[in-house]
Structures are given as C-alpha cells and as structure tokens.
Amino acid sequence: MAIKDKTTIKHYVRRDVLRLGGGVALSAPFVGRAWAQTTEINMLAWYGHGEPDMVGAFEEANNVKFVPKYYAGGDNMLALIAQSPPGTYDIILSDGEFVQQLNAAGYIEELDANDYPFDDMLHEDFTKFPGHWEGDTLYSMILRGGHLGVSYNTTAMSAEEAASYEGFWKPELAGKVGHFDWHLPSLGMMSLKNGNGAGLWDLTDDQWQAVQDVTMTLRPQVGGFFDYGGTFNSLKNGEMLAMCGIGDWITGVLERDGAPVASVIPKEGGIQFTESYCIGKNSSKADLVKSFIQYMMSPEGQVKSAQMLAYPGFCVTKAGRALLQEVDPAEAKRSHQMDGMPNDPIALINEGRIHYRDIPKQQTLEDWNDFWSEYKNA
Amino acid sequence: MSEPLVTFRNVEKRFDDFVAVRDMSLDIHEGEFLAIMGSSGCGKTTTLRMLAGLEAPTSGEIRIGGRLMNDVKPHERDTPLVWQSLALFPFLTARENVEFGLKMRGMAAAERKRRALDWLERMQIEAFAERNVATLSGGQKQRVALARSLVMEPRMLLLDEPLSALDANLVIRMQGVLTRLQRELGITFVYVTHSQSEAFAMADRVVIMSQGDIAQIGSPKDIYRAPANRFVAEFVGRNNILSGTVGETGGNGLHIDTPQGRFVAHMPETVPAQGAEVSFTVSADLVTLSLTEPEAVNKVQATLISEEFIGSVVTLFFEGADRLEFKVQMQERALLELDLEPGSAVWLSWEAENANILEDN
Amino acid sequence: MNIVNRRLDLYALTWRLPIILWQLVFFVGPVVFMVAMSFFVVRNYRMMEAFEFANWERMLTRGFFWDSYWYTLFVASLSATIAMCVAFPAAWALAFRASESVRRWAIFLLVIPFFTSYLVRTFSWYVILAESGVLNAMLGYIGLGPFRMLNTHFGTIVGYLTLTLPLVVILQTVSMANIDKTLVEAARNLGCKPLATIWRVVLPLSKTGFIVAALFCFILAFGDFVAPFYLGGSQEPTLPILILDTTKSGQQWPRAAVVAIMMMLTLFTIAFTAIALAYRKPKGARA
Amino acid sequence: MMGRGLNIFLGLYVGLIFAFVFAPILFSLVFSLNSQRFPTIPLGEFTLEWYVQIWNDEDVWQAVRNSVIVSSSTAVLATFLGFCTAYSDFRYNFRFKGPYLALILLPPTIPLIIMALAMLAWLSRIGLSGQLWSIILAHSVLTAPFAMALIRLRLHQMDPDLEAAAWNLGGSEWQAMRHVIVPFCAPAIVSALCLTAAISFDEFAVSWFVSGLNKTVPIVILEIVQGNIDPTVNAIGTFVFLTSMTLVILAQVIFIGRQIKSHS
C-alpha cells in the first residue's frame, strides 16, 4: 500500500491554531485539516472502496469523511445490513447480482436515472443491467466491472495451460491451487468448465450434481481457502500457484507490483463481477451520496476506479476510458482497456465469452453455500 | 448497688443448629474489670461480639446503660474492641490508626491528631506515630490497638484475647499496663481470654463459660478456692477431685465415703441427703505432705509419680488408691528438704474446711 | 466471617445486585437469545422469529457439520496433547531444577505473550512459515527444504500452540512447583526410578493443575478461528470457521447459533468431566 | 554425571520453548523495521516507513482513540463489577451463591466467536449494537471475571476483623468500605484496571462483530490482515505490545510487589 495521502479530518477543530498560525505545517495527525463540520458517510463496500485513493479527493472537496465497513461476498453484505439498525449505511457498493436482493428487502432508495451518464455507456448491457431496474425505476448505478478466469503464477503454468479451467487439475499444482473463499465465483467457474456456458447459473438438478462432482475432483489440488488478504498474499509469496474464483482484480494489483502472475479468460468463458452503487434506505445524506456517485461516474471518478489500489476494475463509460488512456496509458494497456486490443473487456463481452455473475436460479444460495462447506470439509 | 452498666437477660445465640450462647443472664457493673474465660468454642467471644453488636442475639435482651441494644448496629455503639488479631489498618500509620474512630465521628483533623498523639504518648509509643503499623513490633502494635480504642473515651472497653500473640514476658508487662489503665480511667473492661493466669491476675470478677453456659461467676479467689462444679474445678487451677457418697452428717462436717477412704468436708449451705453422690475438691496447694502418717482427719497414702517445676513452685503428681491422681503444690525449697524420688510413698492430708463440695458431681 | 446482619439491606444489595443485573442483561441475555435464535427462520435474507426445528435438522443431518465437529474435537484434543507434552520437560525443569527467582522470571516472561496481539503474532508466523519465508530461507542455508508449512495442519497447530503453550507451561510449572519436594525425594530414596517418580509421584500430585491446563488448552483451541483460518488455510474448516462462514452466507444466523450451541454443549460436557476428574479424591489412598 | 547432561539438555529445551513463544513477537518487531513487504532472509534495509505510515494514518489514530476509550471504560466497569462480586463473595453467605459466582466467572470459558455471535445478535435485538459502547458492554462481561479473581485474592489476604474494626470504631458500613476495604484492595484494584484494560485493548473477535463502523486497534489489525496486508501490522502490533506491556508491568509491580512484601 502506498503511503496514503492524508486528507482526512480531525473531529475537533483547531481554529485557534489556524487563527494564530495561519499556515502551520499540517502534517502531524493531531493537526488535521481544519474544517468546521465534517459529515460522515457510512459506506458498506468491498475492501478498498473507502480508502483515500478512491474517496480522498471527494472528501476534501466536500468536507465529508467516509467511514467504510468492508465485506467479502454478497451474502456477507446482506447479513451486515440486516444486523445494523436501518439507515446505518448511506452508500452501499453491491455486486450487481445482489441489487435485486437489496431492493426486495427494502434496503435501498430509488435513484433518478437522469442524474447519471447513461448516454455514455461502453456497452448497452450496462445501461439496463439486470436487476438494477424495477420496471422503469432505477435502484443502482453500475460503477465498474472485472473479469474472472484462471489466475496463475506464470512461472508454474503456461498461458496455454491457463487457457482452460482444466489447468487447475495440472498434477504439478497439487496442493498449490487456492480458492477465493466465496462459493459463487468458484462454483460458477466449475459450471463453465462443465460446458454450461451462458446457462451457468441456471442448472437443473442433474447439472448441479455434475458441477458438484467435478468440483470435488479438484479438492486434492486445493491448498487453502482465502479471504482478500490471504488470496493476495499466497499468490504473491508463491504459497499458491493458481487461484480459482478470482481474476485480474487481484492479479492486476500484483502485476502492477511486478509479480509473475496473470489472469486469462479461458476458452470455456469467464465471469464478470459488476460493482454498483446504491443509496441506503432512509439515509439522511442521500444528496451527498448522489453527488459522490455522480463524481465516480465522471471521467475523473472512472479513472480512479480503474486505478484503485486495492483492486482494479474496468471503466463503464466511454469518457472514463478515454481519460484513462490519456492520463495513465500504462494502466489502460495493462488492463487491455484499449479499443482493438485482443482482450479488451468490452470486446470479450461482445464476443459472448463473458457471463455476468448471478445467483443460482434453480437452487437456493443456501444449497450452493452448503455444498461449499461440504467441499471445504472434504 | 447502682444500676448495672450491662445486663444480659436470657440471651441465646444460635448459628444454624449450633448454640453458641445459651440462656445467659449476666450483669456487668460500671468500672469493673470483668474477665470471661473458657476454652475455645465456649461462647465467650460470641458474648463479646454481641456486646459490640457484631452479632445479634437470637433471643433474650442485652441492655447497655438501660438501653435495649439487640438491634443497634456496631457503629452506633460506644463499645470499642481490642481484637485478638489487633485488626490494625495496615495501610495507615500508627497515628492514623488511632485517629480512625475520631475521623468516623467527624472530628476535625487538628483536634483528632492532637488526641491521637496524646494517647500515643500515654502509651509511650509517640516515637512511632508516623510509622506504618506493619513495621511495628508486637508490643508496639498492642499499644496502638489500645490507644485506638481508648481515644474514643468509651464507658466500656472490650478486649478479645488481646495478649494471646505476645510472648510471656510481654504478657506480664501488658497485664500491668492494662490493670493500671483500667484503674486510672475507671471504665469497665470486659476481657475475654482462655488464659487463667491473665484472668485471675487482672479481673475483679471472672465469668467461666462452658459450651454456651455460664459455669461460674465470681471473684478469682472464689473460683480458685471454691469451684462451683466439676467443670470449673477441672478447668481452673490444680484441684484434686474426689467423688463418693454422703455418709452420716456429723457435727464436724459432711462425711463422704470414697474408694480412697472416708473423708470429712466442711458442711455446705445445702446439705445433701445421705447416700447422695457427691464430689469435692481440694486445692493442690492446700494439701500437706508428710513422710509419716499425720494426725489429720483427711489423709491418704500415695506414691510419687512425677514432678513439674514452674519457677519456684513445684507440682508433684501422686497416685493413690484406685489409681486416683493427686496433685500437690509446694515451694521448691520445701521439696528439697523432703528428699523424694519417684516411687516414694508418702501421706497426703488436708483440713476439712479446705474440702469444697461441688454443686454437681 | 460472621454476618452481622442477615437481612438483605441496601448495602448488601449495592454489591450484589449490579453484577446480577448486568450479567443477566449482557451475558445470560445473549446466550439465551442465541438459543432462541436457533429456532428462528430466515426468509429472503431476513431473520424471522419462529419456533421451528428446521435449522437443527438441517445442520445436524449434514455430513459437513459432523465432519467439522469431529475434526475440531480432534485438532483441539491433539493440540492440547501436544501442548501438554511439549510443555512438560520445560515445566519440569522450571519446577524442580530452577531456583525460585529464575522460576518467577520465567513465569513473568511467559505472561508477556498474553498481552501482545494474537493476530499480530499469527501474522508474524505467517511470514515466518511461508514457503519463501524466514524459516525456509534459514533452512535453505543448510541445504534443507523448502518445506510446506503454511495452509497445513502443521500451521494450524503452530497457531494453537502460540495461543496455548505459554499458559500450559505456566500452569504445569506452578502445579509442580507446589508439590512438597520431600515427597519426591522420599520416592527417590525408596528406590523409585526417575521416570517412575514422575509417573507415580509427580503427576498424581499435580493432577489438578495438569487437567486444568489441558482443559484451558482444549477450550482455547476449540474456539479459535484465527489459527485454522490464517495458518491452516481453512483446510477442513473447524467449527469456529463454520460459524463465520454461516453468518456470512445469507444471514444464516440461526444456523450459526446451532453450531455455537453444539460447541457450548460439548465444551461444558468436557469441562465438567475434566473438573470432576481434577478434583476427584484418589481411590482409597488418602482421606 | 547424568544430572549435568540432563541439566544442559533441559536448559536448551527451556530455551527452545521460549524461542518458540517469543519468535513471533521478536520477528514482528524486526519486520516492522524492515523495508521488505514480505520479509525473508536476508532482511531488507532498516526503515521507519511503516511507523511513519501509521503515524500519518488518521484511521489508526482514530482507532487508537477508540481503543483507549473502550479499554479504559471497560477497565472501570469490569473492575467495579469484579469488585462488587469479590466483595459479596468475601463478605456474605447466601443462597444460590454458586450460580451467582458462575454468572460472573463463566464467560471466559465460552469461545470468543460464540460470545461475539450471541452478543451481536442480542445487542442488535435490543438496539445497542454498532456503537463504541457496545464493545464496552461486551468487554465488561468478558473481563470482569479477571478483575474479580484479582480482587478476591487480595480480600483473601485481608484480616476479616479489619472491616468489623472499622464499624466498631464508629464507621458505618459505607464508611468502612470507603476507608478500609477500598484502601486495602487498592493495589488489586489498580492491577485489575490494568489487566482488564490490557485484555480489552487486544480483543478483536467480539469487537469486530459488535462494533459496527467503529474501529479499535485490533479491528484495524484484523482488517489489514484480511485486506491489504502490509508490515504496518507489525508496527501497530509493536505499538500495542508496548502499550500492553506498560500496563502489565505496572500491574505486576504494584500487585505482585505488594504480595511479595506482605509475605516476607
């Protein structure tokens, strides 16, 4: 983590210091920037979304302070909201497929589509993203996405081997394949491996059984189940040589750091995670949150999202992509966000190789989760 | 006689099934030095604690100065206690310990300091006033404890075996200190002890307790010379106890037939019927020893078993008929003249008026 | 001591009541609510009050729950056994071979780890045990390894020992140091061999302390999620990890409560058995 | 002969045990001063970078402030509760004393993760979750037994006549409490304050569940370990270690010191 540029604020005001000293050096933590009243915005998000590299500039400009609570996995997110008093969270960064659940449970406010740049989307899917609308009413604003495939250590696997989920079964990788500890992406990949293609979430009981069976055969290869930090570390220090359930969002960070890791979308297809903002029900700071979302949808915000230190995600607006290419061509190239590049994420979607992550259609999430527990225990 | 300072009327104290004090009636007079004596568990400490309000009687009445005290809390009484453990506050200096009670009463700091120092001086330990009590010697602590109670200027001071932790020399010295203090102050001392020597040396009256009952109340001399019952006789002093049946009651006294022979005792106030079982005591120091058969009404033959020296006084143990043990106390000098050795057979004799009939047998 | 006033008064209540009320609200309340919660149902990610056995049925009929259960019992027992065995020679040395002051210092030092962050210590192990970590690098100099230590049972046990070893050494040392040394000498005098002395004299005399140490060790390992998660890579998730997973997935708190209650029942059973054993008078021998 | 060899072996063995116990602590200190993000041998350069980083991190400072508030409030509450129980146990005999004592002594035998689950479920049920004082409530339950044990030990050393002596000298029960019991227990009370504060300062499982958006130092550590792991963890850990040690040493000096004195 780079040294955070400290723009955050002390809660008490050092007016006297300012009045007397005017330009006192403000580097020490006790003498934060002096703003009269700082509004706190409670954010529920995946790790990293509330860090200064994402929200710092907005905080400074608007005299607010983000107080993040991080979760891992959509069901974890729902659990956290359910445990908190209503109105706790002002802004919720949700995975696209969970917006519907949030809405059904009445956790989020309506949005006004006119507030956001729907005319500038890179792909028509992003405009009417599944679950984000209830009829003509908008409930969630898509921020960015990322693709999940085979993530691997380039010294241990060749690109050809990684071009199929079969690669995870490579005998040399025994005990060296890790799982991101959330059932949806990993089982989704297993479903893709079984050739379920676009119907990967819509499995008949037989298909579901087949997915379970094939997953179980991977178990001997598996060296551990990790949270964000563990996934990150075990790839970085060579503890794990391949990782199931993730993609560029983790290897990208390590790549930026010079580690020999990469992610590819294998021939069976990849999964897209989609991250979207929602405004918490009964938030008293809805207006501020709205302007934050607008800020993040602006080209400047989209670039910040693409550069996010914790994990990158691709831009969803044309203007955002254009600005990224202009200000950070290296990152744009690394993440293939250049028109005409072979792995351009938008191009992958257009080629039909990418499937949006979703929740199981014919089974319940609990069924999948139970199997995940069983799998971990096997 | 004036109204007693303290009266116990039919006081009983139970702890669950255990009766600590049974049907006790007792008067304590203003200005007297009363010792309550008995072995451990006899109820003497419970009696004292009831006086201090640390225990409430189960039934009966306790009055102090005429006021019914049964439910008066300890801190509302004026009955300072000198504890067996001393119970000095270890985190305070000697002076602060002495000031404690005055402070509880809300006395101004300067005044209580003055009084505390007065008392420390009176107890001759003013030099240690600012020392932590933990660093004082046993005798010094004792004096602090006394000063701490007496500075309260009570009408009555309670003492719970205060000398039991001291060594013998110090005990004698402190006995002197206590009796002098009591005389000078003229207040009532209620002194609980298991030590006969302490009680007899200091007290005006002694209460002997046994298993929650009062066995005898009287002056030390009364109790010593005329124990009322077998318990007291065995508990106190060197008493020879003989048992038998009442024979004829002649003019010169009560005739008692025992396995050791027929003895004559001086006539008690209530004359037991002929044939009644009766016991009597003879103090060991009132028994005369002679090598030849003496001209005496009461005499037995006995064999010397052993001797025990305490200072210049020696106690001789004899075995008489029917294996009865006899004790004789005499000056060591007198013993030397007799030139006895274990196994020597001698005659023991006593006067009829020195035989004391016990109330029970 | 004696009680002056057996009636309950304001004074007595002042000292007795606060803790009763406090613990009722903030200790009994949570535990009882957890039991109640295990009968609630979850619909659409919302917990609803109900009285249904569905959660119990669901959890107790699942193979993975019982796998986890037996596995957790096994690793907790294993780590208690290992900790007891590993600690014993050290505790014996401290109790019988070290001077009073050395012993006091040793115990003081062993208390220190309790006041360092367990998480930080675990993370430290993570870095030490990693394949490219400190230990493997050191072993590399003498031509060994690299060994796989993270994300294995070995890693989990190292984590548990980090948590429990200091405590076990302290308890063993203290209970053996309190043995009357003359008894040990007497046994040696009577021709008892050293190992037999330990087995026949030292262990029976320090039985209580040892059982308590093993029990603590078991309880701590049984309930810890940090070691199996961060050092064991969640391979074969223990019950605490299962609880975490269950709470994370779809608001299934009632099911997590089922796991928690099963854990508590198990712990209480084992704890009461152990305590009963610890304080049982030896047969016949002494009154 | 054999004894000597055995002694050397045992000495080495004890050394090994201590090495195991202190390895993570010492390495954490070394890593915190080492430039490598994933330290290995040979070590990188000496650096204070991680300390500078936490020094400049407002979130860490906020967490430190929260932790100080939580641990000091917990200490006061738990010590008060522990004192009440210890005194009740010392002074009174009453029916159901066993359950009464179990009520306070049981919590540490329940795994923290279960306490965390139960606490959060219950506190959010009665509307007390997600606040800084939610942690304080939970921690007071967890740490009160330790305070109780320390104070009870101290009361055990007290001559029971001491309190009665104070009444006997005209002090009411309240005055005796104020002027005798509390001063006598003072060293144990201070120790209990330090000990409970130290435990609370390091507890993460329950804090993490019930704290909502409020972060204490261990929660920040947990988040770094779960999230973007870097050696600032070691820097914070070293800082926590020094804080806790200060408290522990204070407690030791005050309590153990007194005990040794009172025994000799």
Every domain of chain B with CATH number 3.40.50.300 lies at 6-225
Mean pLDDT in chain C? 86
Whole-number pLDDT of residue B324: 86
Q: With beta carbons under 8 A apart, name residues in chain D contacting A233.
A: 38, 229
Q: Which residue of C has its CA nearest to D40?
A: C134
- In this structure, the answer to whether residues A278 and A247 fall within a common structural domain is no
- A158/A195 same-domain check: yes
Q: What is the CATH number of the domain that holds C191?
A: 1.10.3720.10
Please answer whether residues A324 and A330 qualify as being in contact, where contact means their C-beta atoms are separated by less than 8 angstroms.
no
Query: Is residue C24 in some structural domain?
Result: no
Q: Out of C62, C151, C242, name the one closest to residue A224 (CB).
A: C151
Q: How far is B162 from chain C (nearest CA, A)?
A: 19
Contact A36, A13 (CB under 8 A): yes
**What confidence tens digit (pLDDT) does each residue in B137-182 have?**
989 999 999 999 999 999 999 999 998 888 888 899 999 999 999 9
**Does the residue D148 lie in any domain?**
yes
Residue of A nearest to C244 (CA): A76
Residue A4 lies in a domain: no
pLDDT: which is higher, C214 or C275 = C214
Q: Do chains D and B touch (3 or more CB pairs under 8 A)?
A: yes
C182 and chain B in contact, CB less than 8 A? no
Convert the pLDDT of each residue in A18-31 to its tens digit: 333 333 333 333 33
Q: What is the pLDDT of residues A150-191, one digit of tens each?
A: 999 999 999 999 999 999 999 999 989 999 988 999 999 999
pLDDT at C87: 95
Tokens of residue C99, six digits: 């001077």
Question: Residue C15 domain-assigned?
Answer: no
Neighbours of chain C (3+ CB pairs under 8 A): A, B, D
- What pLDDT digit, counting tens, does each position of D166-194 carry? 999 999 999 999 999 999 999 899 889 98
Assess if residue C218 is contained within a domain. yes
CA distance D232 to chain C (A): 10
- Higher confidence at residue C45 or residue A142? A142
pLDDT of residue A5: 36
D30 in contact with B, Cβ within 8 Å: no
C2 in a structural domain: no
* d(C-alpha B174, C-alpha D158), whole Å: 26
Based on the structure, what is the number of domains in chain C? Answer: 1
* Residues A235, C242 contacting (CB under 8 angstroms): no
Residues of C in contact with B53 (CB under 8 A): 4
Q: For the residues D1-5, what does the mean pLDDT come to?
A: 67
Residue-level pLDDT at C281: 63
> Tens of pLDDT along A71-116?
878 878 887 888 788 888 999 999 999 999 899 889 999 999 999 9
3-class state of residue C84 by DSSP: helix
| Integer CA distances (angstroms), B159 to B145, B207, B216, in order | 10, 14, 20
| Residue D8 placed within a domain | no
- Report the CATH number of the B238-357 domain: 2.40.50.100
Rounded to the nearest angstrom, the minimum Cα separation between D176 and chain B is 9
Using a CB-CB cut-off of 8 Å, the residues of chain B touching C5 are 56, 73
Residues A34 and A174 in one domain: no
pLDDT, mean of residues C50-78:
91
- Structural domain contains residue A347: no
Q: What chains are in contact with D, requiring at least 3 Cβ pairs below 8 Å?
A: A, B, C
Within this chain, do residues A86 and A26 fall inside the same structural domain, yes or no?
yes
pLDDT, residue B352, reads 85
Q: Chain D closest CA to B100's CA: distance in Å?
A: 7
Of D159, D164, D170, the CB nearest to B101: D170
Closest CA–CA distance from residue A339 to any residue of chain C (Å):
39
**Residue C236 to residue C246: CA distance in whole angstroms:** 15
Tell me if chain C has a CB within 8 Å of the CB of A370.
yes
Average pLDDT over residues C114-142: 86
Looking at the predicted structure, is the pLDDT value of residue A195 above 60? yes
* CA C75/CA C61 separation, integer angstroms: 22
Q: Do chains A and C touch (3 or more CB pairs under 8 A)?
A: yes
Number of domains in chain A: 2
Mean pLDDT of the C120-145 span: 86
Would you call the peptide bond into B294 cis, given omega within 30 degrees of 0 as the criterion?
A: no
- Looking at residue D54, its pLDDT comes to 87
How do the residues of chain D divide into helix, strand and coil, expressed in percent and rounded to 5?
80, 0, 20
- Write out residues 70-89 of C within 8 Å (CB-CB) of D: 86-87, 89
Do A139 and A277 belong together in one domain? yes
Q: Does C5 touch chain B (CB under 8 A)?
A: yes
Q: Is B255 on the interface with D (CB under 8 A)?
A: no
Does any CB of chain B come closer than 8 Å to the CB of residue D130? Answer: no
Q: What is the mean pLDDT of residues B230-234?
A: 89
Whether D221 is in a domain gets the answer: yes
pLDDT of A6 over the 60 cut: no
What six digits make up the tokens of C34?
């957890």
Q: Which of B197-201, B306-310, C106-110 has the lowest mean pLDDT?
A: B306-310
C7 secondary structure, DSSP code: S
pLDDT band at D136 (very low <50, low <70, confident <90, very high): very high
Domain extent for A156 = 147-271+354-377
Predicted confidence band of residue C8 (pLDDT cuts 50, 70, 90): low
D129 touches A at CB < 8 Å: yes
Contact list, D13 vs chain C (CB under 8 Å): 89-90, 93
Which pLDDT value is given to residue B68?
Answer: 93
Chain B residues near residue C2 by CB distance under 8 angstroms: 49, 54-55
Q: What is the pLDDT of residue D239?
A: 84
Does the pTM surpass 0.80? The reply is yes
Question: Predicted confidence band at C282 (pLDDT cuts at 50, 70, 90)?
Answer: low
**B58 pLDDT more than 60:** yes
Sequence-distant (6+) residues with CB within 8 A of C103 are C94, C95, C173, C177
* Predicted local distance difference test score (pLDDT) of residue A37: 66
Q: What angle do CA B142, B146, B151 make, to 5 degrees?
A: 150
The arithmetic mean of pLDDT across residues C259-279, rounded, is: 90
Over chain A, what is the mean pLDDT? 86
User: ipTM score here?
Assistant: 0.82
* For residue A35, pLDDT beyond 80: no
The reply to whether residue A223 touches residue C151, judged by beta carbons under 8 angstroms, is yes
Q: What would the mean pLDDT of C226-246 be, rounded to a whole number?
A: 88
Q: Please answer yes or no on whether B74 and D164 come within 8 Å at the CB atom.
A: yes
Q: Mind telling me how many Å the CA of D166 is from chain B's nearest CA?
A: 8
Q: What are the distances in angstroms from CA A6 to CA A17, A28, A55, A56, B264?
A: 19, 10, 11, 8, 113
Q: Is residue A343 part of a domain?
A: no
| C133 in any annotated domain | yes
Virtual torsion, Cα A250, A251, A252, A255, nearest 10 deg = 140
Residue C90: its pLDDT value, please?
94
**Out of A272-276, B28-32, B347-351, D242-246, which region has the weakest mean confidence (pLDDT)?**
D242-246
Q: What percent of chain C has pLDDT over 70?
A: 93
Cβ within 8 Å, pair D58-A10: yes
**Each residue of D22-77: pLDDT tens digit?**
999 999 999 899 888 777 777 888 888 889 988 888 888 999 999 999 999 999 99
Structure tokens at D85: 């129980």
- Residue spans in chain B of domains classed CATH 2.40.50.100: 238-357
Minimum-distance CB partner of C234 among A78, A79, A181: A181
What integer pLDDT is reported at residue C4 of this predicted model? 44
Domain covering B6-225 in this structure, CATH number: 3.40.50.300
Mean residue pLDDT of chain B comes to: 89
- Would you say residue A10 lies in a domain? no
Contact (CB<8Å) B53/C5: no
Residues C5, C3: Cα–Cα separation, whole Å: 6
* Cβ contact C137–D41 (<8 Å): yes
Mean pLDDT of A47-54: 91
In a domain, D12, yes or no: no
Q: For B243-299, write each residue's pLDDT tens digit.
A: 888 887 666 778 888 888 888 888 877 778 888 888 889 988 888 888 888 888 888
Q: What is the dihedral of CA D5, D7, D10, D12, to 10 degrees?
A: -80
| pLDDT, tens digit (0-9, with 9 covering 90-100), for A336-349 | 999 888 889 999 99
Say which residues have a Cβ less than 8 Å from residue A176's Cβ, sequence separation at least 6: A156, A221, A223, A240, A241, A242
- Tell me which of A331-340, B229-238, C243-252, D134-143 is least confident: C243-252
Residue D95's pLDDT band, with cuts at 50, 70 and 90, is confident
Residues A31 and A90 in one domain: yes
Domain CATH code at residue A177: 3.40.190.10
CATH code assigned at D146: 1.10.3720.10
**CB-CB neighbors (< 8 A) of B87 in chain C:** none
Q: Is residue C138 part of a domain?
A: yes
Overall number of domains in chain D = 1
pLDDT of residue B2: 67
Rounded-to-integer distance, Cα A164 and Cα A180, Å: 18
Query: CB–CB of C233 and A225 under 8 A?
Result: yes
- D167 interfacial to chain B (CB closer than 8 Å): yes
| CA dihedral of residues B59, B63, B67, B69 (deg, nearest 10) | -50
- pLDDT, tens only, B283-292: 888 888 888 8
Contact B321, B277 (CB under 8 A): no
Task: Give me the total of CB pairs closer than 8 Å, taking one residue from chain C and one from chain D.
Answer: 237
pLDDT, position A12: 31
Three-state DSSP state, B85: coil
> From start to end of B177-335, where are the E strands?
188-193, 205-210, 213-218, 239-250, 253-258, 261-265, 277-283, 288-290, 298-310, 313-319, 325-331
Q: Which residues of A255-278 are buried (b: 16+ CB within 10 A; e: fewer)?
A: beeebebbbbbbebbbbbbbbbbb
pLDDT for the residue C264: 94
With a cut of 90, say whether residue C286 has pLDDT above it: no
- Which chain C residue is nearest to residue D176, measuring alpha carbons? C11
pLDDT (0 to 100) of residue A255:
86
Q: What does pLDDT average to over chain D?
A: 87
| 3-class secondary structure, A153 | strand
Measure in Å the smallest separation between the Cα of C285 and chain D Cα atoms. 30
Please indicate whether, in this complex, the C-beta atoms of C132 and A234 are within 8 angstroms of each other: no
Q: What local confidence, expressed as pLDDT, does residue A13 receive?
A: 33
Question: Which residue range(s) make up the domain with D112?
Answer: 53-263
Output the pLDDT for position A369: 86
Q: What distance in Å separates the CA atoms of residue C73 and residue C79, rounded to the nearest whole number? A: 10
Instruction: Write the single-letter amino acid at B297.
Output: V
Whole domain around residue C258: which residue ranges? 55-279
For residue D232, name the pLDDT band (cuts at 50, 70, 90).
confident
B338: pLDDT strictly greater than 90: no
